[in-house]
Homo-oligomer: A and B are copies of this chain.
Amino acid sequence: MSHNLLKGKKGIIFGALDENSIAWKTALRCFEEGASLLLTNAPVAMRYGEINKLAELVNAPVIPCDVSSDEDVLNLMTKSMEHFGGGVDFILHSVGMSLNMRKGNHYTDIDYMLNSKTLDISSMSLHRVLAAAMKLDAINEWGSVVALSYIAAQRVFPDYSEMADAKALLESVCRSFGYHYGVKKHVRINSISQSPTKTTAGSGVKGFDGFISYAEKMSPLGNASADDCAKYCVSLFSDFTRMVTMQNLFHDGGFSFTGVTMSVIDQMSE
């Protein structure tokens, strides 16, 4: 059942690869809640993914965009202005890639050229999008931007490796740009720190299944699913949360403030 929470609102969704993606589910949920959408992803991800299927479902155009290219990002925001005949009301940034993890490099022995690309794609891409939007005035007054993050930005998960640093940088960009865009145009910018989620991208992380099951046991409500996250995104895009900005919001069934659970203690003492 739709609550028309986003009726009349326009938004851009980054990073919908396939139906397991948080971005995919968020697009569906935003559409259901009355939003008009524009989809984008990296040209290479579009080839492997099924974004065109999603585009049909939510009746949205797809604009390819390499987020590490100033030109591509500017082009995307320009096209968005043209398509919507003005600014958007929300943006979901669901983008991240660790090139050193992909190469199998251990955190203590990374290639710094690859690391620079990891940070550029996973973190500074948000800055690039926001800077282009500010230049073109492509986000409406009181618009809402959400970036997806992970608690590794605060605490170490050994296998999450260089993505942890990238997420810490991403969250800092949310705060820093959140200040400037807030003062200038009341645009609010937050990150959601989501439970580990079984997406096609996430599956690449070594030992991911073991970790999902640990997080499940360590969360009083269990892990938050991609569907739950889509709904939380909708609430943050809606007018019910207009004064929330520059925050990193844990959406994780309580994992972040749980020191230990009986369930973990029990399993460890078996």
Residues of A within 8 A of B (CB): 3-5, 70, 107-110, 112, 115-116, 119-120, 124, 127-128, 130-131, 134-135, 151-158, 160-162, 164-165, 168-169, 171-173, 175-183, 186, 188, 195, 207, 210-211, 214, 217, 220-221, 224-225, 228-229, 231-232, 234-235, 238-247, 249-254, 256-262, 264-265, 267-270
B108 touches A134 (CB 8 A): yes
Select one of B158, B259, B269 contacting A152, CB under 8 A.
Answer: B259
Bound state CA distance, A245 and B152, in angstroms?
A: 17
Bound state CA distance, A115 and B261, in angstroms?
A: 23
Bound state CA distance, A160 and B261, in angstroms?
A: 11
A162 proximity list for chain B (CB < 8 A):
176
Bound state CA distance, A172 and B168, in angstroms?
A: 6
Bound state CA distance, A180 and B257, in angstroms?
A: 12
A254 proximity list for chain B (CB < 8 A):
178-179, 182, 188, 245-246
A244 touches B250 (CB 8 A): yes
B242 touches A246 (CB 8 A): no
Bound state CA distance, A250 and B229, in angstroms?
A: 19
Bound state CA distance, A178 and B255, in angstroms?
A: 11
CB proximity of A35 to chain B, nearest CB, Å: 14
B221 touches A188 (CB 8 A): yes
B231 touches A242 (CB 8 A): yes
A210 proximity list for chain B (CB < 8 A):
265, 268-269
Number of copies of this chain in the oligomer?
4
Bound state CA distance, A188 and B255, in angstroms?
A: 12
Select one of B179, B195, B250, B261 contacting A183, CB under 8 A.
Answer: B261
Mind listing 15 A-B residue pairs with CB under 8 Å?
A3-B3, A3-B5, A107-B180, A108-B177, A112-B120, A112-B124, A156-B178, A158-B262, A164-B176, A183-B261, A195-B243, A210-B269, A224-B243, A235-B238, A247-B250
Smallest CB-CB A-B distances: 3 pairs: A182-B220, A168-B172, A224-B243
B172 touches A164 (CB 8 A): yes
B239 touches A231 (CB 8 A): yes
Select one of B220, B249, B269 contacting A179, CB under 8 A.
Answer: B220
Bound state CA distance, A241 and B238, in angstroms?
A: 12
A244 touches B249 (CB 8 A): yes
Bound state CA distance, A79 and B86, in angstroms?
A: 53
A108 proximity list for chain B (CB < 8 A):
130-131, 134, 177, 180-181
Which chain B residue lies CB-closest to A106? B180
Bound state CA distance, A175 and B165, in angstroms?
A: 9
B253 touches A243 (CB 8 A): yes
B239 touches A243 (CB 8 A): no
